A and B are shown apart, each in its own frame.
Chain A
Amino acid sequence: MKKIAIRIIKLHNVSKRLELLCKKAVFCNENERNKILITASELIDNLITHGEIGVLGVIVTLRIEKHRITCGIYVETHNAFAEFSKRMETCKDNPDAHKPWYDIKEHRWHGLGLRMCENLADRVRYRAGKKLDRIYFEIFR
């Protein structure tokens, strides 16, 4: 199977559904699967914390080509994402543009997830759309 997709409607299902997606991805090796699982979890985590899952839910697709695996994440449009994606486009593939930093007051890290995704995936793209926002990430083989 070269193409698979799942849809996540409920929050508490996210990890289970992503695990299912990876289990179906027999064309990947363990390392690739782990990368996909973490990256997708991370991205969806952010979509949920910064936006909302909506009635549509989140659709995650996986496609394998000879030299890369592409994972797509589709979610109903929300405004914050449009701004975010614009910002990400301007500094694309430049990890130094946004370093993670620790907020002592809030007692938490910022930008950690973004950095994780950039390190795990070979390329991440954020696309805002009229109806659907999309995030693609690729893992080269």
Chain B
Amino acid sequence: MTGISIQVSEENGFTILTISGPINSYTFTELQEKINKYAGKVNLAIHLGGVTTMTSAGIGVILAAIEDTEAAGKKIFIIAPSEIARLAMESTGFMDSFPILNSIKELQ
């Protein structure tokens, strides 16, 4: 029990990972394992609406997933990040690197 929960679903040809709870050095390995399983293989959507905190460990995993997926010619989106997740991503100075959608409905 690490406090993080990751649910996998599919919609519109996207594999959606819905993440809630804290993402930090203690929980990120769990996230990393799940993401590595899909990154570069399918169209990926990472839903961050339920994230309560996020450190560089989590951001690193997401950035890596973005690079891998894009390199493989697949699509990747960050969906509806919570206020704190958005702040964390902004703070890296690479906000442009994160393809953010406001809701799952925007996935095509």
Contact = CB atoms under 8 A, between A and B. Distances in A.
A/B contact in complex, CB under 8 angstroms: yes
Interface of A: 11-12, 14-16, 18-19, 30-31, 34-35, 37-38, 41-42, 45, 48-49, 100, 102, 107-109, 112-113, 115-117, 119-120
Interface string B10-51: 000000000001101111000000000000000000000000
Taking residues whose C-beta sits less than 8 angstroms from the other chain, chain B's interface range is 20 to 34
B35 to A, nearest CB: 12
B60 interface: yes
Contact of B22 (A30, A41, A112, A116): A41
B3 A113 contact: no
B55 interface: yes
B57 interface: yes
Dominant secondary structure at the A interface: helix
A45 B87 contact: no
B5 interface: no
A107 B63 CA distance: 10
A100 B92 contact: yes
Given A18-B53, A38-B53, A41-B55, A116 B88 contact: yes
B56 A45 contact: yes
B55 A45 contact: yes
Contacts of B59: 109, 112, 116
Nearest to A110: B60
B64 interface: yes
Nearest to A38: B88
A12 B3 contact: yes
Top 7 closest A-B pairs, CB basis? A113-B56, A15-B22, A45-B25, A112-B56, A116-B91, A119-B91, A109-B60
